[in-house]
Structure 1
Amino acid sequence: MANIEDYILWRGDLNVVQAPFNNVDNLILSNLVYLTFKNIVPELSYTKPSISNKFTGLFTQDNSSEKKYITIHDAVADMNIQTDENHHVKISKDIEMAVKLANSKRFGNMKLMYYVDKYDENIETQFAAITIIMEDNTAYIAYRGTDTSLVGWKEDFNMSFMDKVPAQVEALKYLETVSSLINMPLHIGGHSKGGNLAVYSSLYIDKSVQDRIIKVYNNDGPGFKSSRLKTKEYNAMQDKIDTIVPQTSIIGMLLEHEEEYIVIKSNETLIMQHDPYSWEVLGPDFVKMEGTTSSSQLIDTTLRQWLNDMTIEQREQFIDLLWEVIGASKAKSFSEMAENIFANAVKIGKKINQLDDKSKEILSTAFSMLIKSAKNAIVAGFK
């Protein structure tokens, strides 16, 4: 069945004025930000020019060679096609996809600007965003999802007990800054954690910017703690949020969603359905399904009950301990862990044995509660 790569071959000769922006375009652009554009796409400066600089600028000609944007075509041509060892985001599929985008009429002339890429182990955050200006004079603000770094995944888990994680704060700051620099209708989206960031930033941005938002796309990204869904901010934006998930979604089922899902078909199984290249496309849209599968519903029920049974303090203690144990491997990413999986398993096992009794009890209790939740979900499924 066709996927987003086939879509480019089919629709790539028409720009967004000739064929309007759609859900598939959204997924493609949200996936583009997984590539590293450091020193290629002009970066966003959060500092505002001083009054004196503004005054001086009235009387001097700007001879600066600094670019304000770069097209997708030129950005891909300038890329050093190497794996980014720091953030682990470039993969062969994304690179091949970028080349196809660059050579298409639909995407090649889109303008990239305001690139931001932050990674900080100390505050446990991984964040990246980019703004894409389209030929219909609208912008797509794309937030990067979780990369393979352990820090990136730790931040995802922190969402289960923190009121807001650093990446969410960065996402709102980014939207506030960009929306003050460009005055045009906005699409905001992301894949995985990027989808959550897209929703979060849209909830707390000024209403004047909210009025310019056409749609917010959460592509198989986690939701929020239930308390956030009951706020006036969420209620005001709910109708503009599209949450798109594959039929056996796992990541998209994490935490809570109030909005209805758009369920689409994937040609992969279980967690691999999170891969956007597996999402099936028919014409200008995805292949729709009536609902999620029983497997997805079982996982959803299990995780919801598990989290509901744990206090906020228990969640934090468990997640911090889990990452302390994983950290014994000294790996910075899951790909590094997989490269020496046996040696890393031994290190993790030793670390668990070295934990004090209280720490072992915290881990044991959490896993016991997870097993109990799974059993209850299975039993409920048979009723």
Structure 2
Amino acid sequence: MADLFDYLLWRGDLDFVQSPFNKIDALLLAQISYSKVDGLLSDSFDEAKTLSQLSKDIKSAPDYKERLNVGVLINNRVTELLDKCSKTNRFRDMKICGYRNIFNQESAEQFSGFCFLYGKKWKQKAVVLKGTDDTLVGWHEDFDLSWKEEIPSQRDSLKYFADVCHHFKSGKITLIGHSKGGNLVVNTAAKCGEKLQRRIADVYNFDGPGFSAAFFESDEFMRVEAKIHSYFPSFSLVGVVFSHQKNFTIVQSSASAAWQHDMLTWNILGIDFETAKDFTKESKAFCRNLNAWLEKLSVEQKRNFVDAMFSMADATGASSLTQLKNDNKIAVSGKILSVVTSMDKETRSEVFKIISLLTDVIRTDIFNSFGAILSVKK
């Protein structure tokens, strides 16, 4: 099946005047936003760099080999994809400016924003908000979505989009994000205010986690609903968390199970996706169980559970999923056990109670599903 590399071979010779920006271009920008570009891009909107130059700078960087390793759950071909882009007529002169990267362990905050300029005289603009990276801080913030009304990167996104609109005082802007970035662009589109909403051309959400049902019933969301295009793989684990908008597209993937979250596995057909009619039964079961479990927990229980989980992760001394994966498993287990045993009795009891509740939800779901199968056979 065709992927983003195939798309570049097929479409790379056409500029954006010959073939306007489309959903696959948006997917590609979301993917290359995972490239390690710290120290290579300016945070100023006045200092732009072409994709061609950025690719050269990455390859000539003294830590080039380290930049190739983008994390356990992110496709390591992302730097290769950027390099291929930089050699096409379509993308080589596309510019990036206003790179903003915020990382704060204390507030569990991980945010990265990019502004892409393209088209005739670089008049067209796209804001790309990166999803969760390899850091445990980024994952901590993801889990905080389960209990916080607003996470730090959602505030960062609103400010970033406002800054882009302030600097570039005219013209439409496309918002793009994958995973947590998808949540950020939808939230930004809904909450940036009517004036800035008029600046939005389209919003592309690729497998981003959802929101409360009330979010989608709000006037602020309804004002931009028609501009929001959401895409989820048929086996979605991230995008099915919480509620999502009624209209979305399910994409076929060449990967299995959770690896379908990787955009480089999404099947492309020309300037469109190869679509599926429905989510897989496994994805539906996960969605049903997780959301049922979350509904049974109070805000305080969710907060305590997330804090307990990441206090265990912090105790290992690892700062990323890659470190956690590569560290000695026995030593890591010992450190986690030490944290669990040092918890006060009430906290430890609450953590095990919440885990037990999850297993009860799954057990009930399996029992009900089995009962439904038997009733059909009768």
Same fold (TM over 0.5): yes
Which position in structure 2 is the counterpart of 1:150? 136
Which position in structure 1 is the counterpart of 2:294? 307
Q: How much has 1:91 moved relative to structure 2?
A: 6.1
Q: How much has 1:84 moved relative to structure 2?
A: 4.9
Which position in structure 1 is the counterpart of 2:98? 114
Q: Is the 8 A contact 1:87 1:149 kept in 2?
A: no
Gaps of 5+ in 2: 373-378
Q: Give 3-state SS (helix, strand or coil) of 2:15's partner.
A: coil
The aligned runs of 1:54-133 (5 Å cut-off) are: 68-79=47-58, 80=61, 81-84=64-67, 92-133=76-117
1:98-150 superposed Cα distances (whole Å, 9 cap, x missing partner): 10010011111111111101111011100001000111532110001001111
Query: Does 1:179 pair with 2:165?
Result: yes
Counterpart amino acid of residue 19 in structure 1 = S
Which position in structure 2 is the counterpart of 1:58? none
Query: Does 1:357 pair with 2:340?
Result: no
Matches of 1:96 and 1:42 in 2, distance apart?
Answer: 22
Query: Does 1:159 pair with 2:145?
Result: yes
Q: Give 3-state SS (helix, strand or coil) of 2:189's partner.
A: helix
Which position in structure 2 is the counterpart of 1:333? 320
Which position in structure 2 is the counterpart of 1:210? 197
1:15-37 superposed Cα distances (whole Å, 9 cap, x missing partner): 12111211111111012221233
Q: Is the 8 A contact 1:186 1:212 kept in 2?
A: yes
Q: How much has 1:242 moved relative to structure 2?
A: 1.2
Matches of 2:75 and 2:207 in 1, distance apart?
Answer: 19
TM-score (normalised: structure 1): 0.90
Counterpart amino acid of residue 109 in structure 2 = T
Q: Give 3-state SS (helix, strand or coil) of 1:218's partner.
A: strand
Counterpart amino acid of residue 174 in structure 1 = Y
The aligned runs of 1:240-279 (5 Å cut-off) are: 240-279=227-266
Q: Is the 8 A contact 1:243 1:259 kept in 2?
A: no
Matches of 2:331 and 2:278 in 1, distance apart?
Answer: 42
Q: Is the 8 A contact 2:135 2:319 kept in 1?
A: yes
Change (3 A) 1:225 1:371: same
The aligned runs of 1:48-59 (5 Å cut-off) are: none
Q: How much has 1:198 moved relative to structure 2?
A: 0.7
Counterpart amino acid of residue 47 in structure 2 = K
Q: Is the 8 A contact 2:158 2:192 kept in 1?
A: yes
1:318-369 superposed Cα distances (whole Å, 9 cap, x missing partner): 1111111222111101110110233212211232222221111111111111
Counterpart amino acid of residue 300 in structure 2 = E
Matches of 2:317 and 2:222 in 1, distance apart?
Answer: 43
Query: Does 1:232 pair with 2:232?
Result: no
* Farther-moved stretch of structure 1 (343-352 vs 163-172): 343-352
Which position in structure 2 is the counterpart of 1:14? 14
Q: Give 3-state SS (helix, strand or coil) of 1:107's partner.
A: coil
Counterpart amino acid of residue 71 in structure 1 = T
* Farther-moved stretch of structure 1 (77-86 vs 212-221): 77-86
Number of equivalent positions = 362
Change (3 A) 1:252 1:180: same
Matches of 2:365 and 2:49 in 1, distance apart?
Answer: 50
Q: Give 3-state SS (helix, strand or coil) of 1:148's partner.
A: coil
Query: Does 1:201 pair with 2:188?
Result: yes
Matches of 1:203 and 1:225 in 2, distance apart?
Answer: 13
Dislocated runs of 4+, deviation >6 Å: none
Identity of aligned residues (%): 29
Gaps of 5+ in 1: 46-66
Which position in structure 2 is the counterpart of 1:62? none
Q: Give 3-state SS (helix, strand or coil) of 1:252's partner.
A: coil
Q: Give 3-state SS (helix, strand or coil) of 1:298's partner.
A: helix
1:222-253 superposed Cα distances (whole Å, 9 cap, x missing partner): 01133323322122222211111100000111
Q: Give 3-state SS (helix, strand or coil) of 1:108's partner.
A: coil
